[in-house]
Amino acid sequence: MKIEKEQILVENQQQTTFHNESFDFLGSSLDKRGVDVEEVVQRLADFQVAIPSWALGAGGTRFGRFSFYGEPATLEQKIDDVGVLHALTGTAGAISLHIPWDIPEDYKAIRERAASHGLIFDAVNSNTFQDQKDAKESYRYGSLSNRNEAVREQAIQHNLDVIKIGEKLGSKSLTVWLADGSNFPGQDNFQTALLNTEDSLKKIYAGLPEDWKLFIEYKPYEPNFYSTVIQDWGTSFLLANACGEKAYTLVDLGHHLPNTNIEQIVSTLMVKGKLGGFHFNDSKYGDDDSTTGSVKPYALFLIFNELVYGMQHNPQNPYPAWMIDASHNIKDPLEDLIQSLEAIQEAYAKALLVDQEQLKVAQQQNDVVQCQEILQNAYRTDVRPLLERARLQMGSALHPLMTYRSLQVRDNLIKERGRHTVATGL
Ligand code: PSV
Ligand code: MN
């Protein structure tokens, strides 16, 4: 299914008057606050978030999986789904593939299909957390960290193969998330596991094309429940440093223990020029895969405040690769992704409204109360008309979710694909 620009225009027409009124009202009050409204709208229009190929079907847990009807069964259909998201939101201009779940058969056709939706290929993701059919070695006891050299070699080779696939699609980065760790005290020698991992990552890094980046993701637990080799940003950071200047840390919001100060991690990594990628989601306890902004929207805003500050003050840090990384167990995955994209844009817009000059003055005067006022003044602003204006300028939907429903996208997908299709992924 492809949504045509005209369909969106028709939907938008019914809502334009209300949008104009609310935009003008907000615009004039932001003007008085000294905000360059047009610039904020432009930044929102420029902000693109990759959608992972594994997020378009229903995700499951080890207790079961409830499939969602009309799921994309092929890579082509996954690309079409991201195309739907991009047409509606103007924000989902990239797709991130997980290998081997999504190996293209015909590269030219896949590239053309993505281009027809205005999509590019973002980071490619390797998978050494599952055994593949016909694989010689098993990852049961780890991959890049494994004490058996043959297993490590297989895992390294897989990553090098993923780079080759990414090159054919125009990707420019490889994301490595390592499930390696141990389930029981005494099972692993921590030092050996870390050193093996460092050695393996260096070998992958050596195969990285000149203009590519390596993103090293971290996660405290799951699937291992006693220890994880790359458990936190510090471990990722030291491994990235050991690899070289094209290696970076990747922050996934769900990969922190409760109450971790993620905004501070972001700030530390950016000042050191090592924040390469960012995965959005939300959680109450652990890696819960909840819709971005659904549980802790203020924390998301504080994180964006540091991201915006870093993007403005840290030229040593590359522009981060943004991606949503959530598993949709109950909701329609496309509706869930639309909600996430909206929450990301909202947090970004609010962070752009923070008066950094005033904040600096208040900090210098140790006016703690005023510091909080400045942040919360930005946070309490209803920025939705700014998001709407950015979408309007891009020819996207004023209200993506409403339009998704009124165009009956899911019903159409079910008609096209049938009810009982299953997307590859977790
Ligand atoms: C791990 O939980 C993770 O966040 C990594 O980014 C993986 O690539 C992704 O989920 C899918 O398994
Ligand atoms: Mn992730």
Q: Give the DSSP per-residue string, 97-154.
A: -BTTTT--SSHHHHHHHHHHTT-EE--EE---SSPPTT-SS--TT-STT-SSHHHHHH
**Which atom of ligand 1 is the closest one to the Cα of 54?**
11
Residue of minimum CA distance from atom 12 in ligand 1: 426
pTM of the model: 0.97
The confidence score (pLDDT) of residue 319 equals 98
**Which atom of ligand 1 is the closest one to the Cα of 254?**
4
CA 332 to ligand 1 centroid distance, Å: 20
Residue of minimum CA distance from atom 7 in ligand 1: 177
**Cα–Cα distance for residue pair 203/200, rounded to 1 Å:** 5
**Cα–Cα distance for residue pair 209/33, rounded to 1 Å:** 46
Which domains can be identified in the chain, with CATH numbers?
A: 5-417 (3.20.20.150)
Q: What is the SS3 assignment for 217?
A: strand
Is 144 in contact with 200 (CB distance < 8 Å)?
Answer: yes
Is 166 in contact with 124 (CB distance < 8 Å)?
Answer: yes
* Binding-site residues, ligand 1, Cβ < 6 A: 54, 125, 177, 217, 219, 252, 279, 287, 325, 426
From 325, 327, 426, the mutation candidate for ligand 1 (largest count of ligand atoms within 8 A of CB) is 325
From 129, 177, 228, the mutation candidate for ligand 1 (largest count of ligand atoms within 8 A of CB) is 177
The confidence score (pLDDT) of residue 425 equals 64
**Which atom of ligand 1 is the closest one to the Cα of 175?**
8
CA 43 to ligand 2 centroid distance, Å: 25
Nearest ligand to residue 425 Cα: 1
The confidence score (pLDDT) of residue 305 equals 98
Residues in the chain, pLDDT under 70: 424-426
The confidence score (pLDDT) of residue 424 equals 66
CA 38 to ligand 2 centroid distance, Å: 33
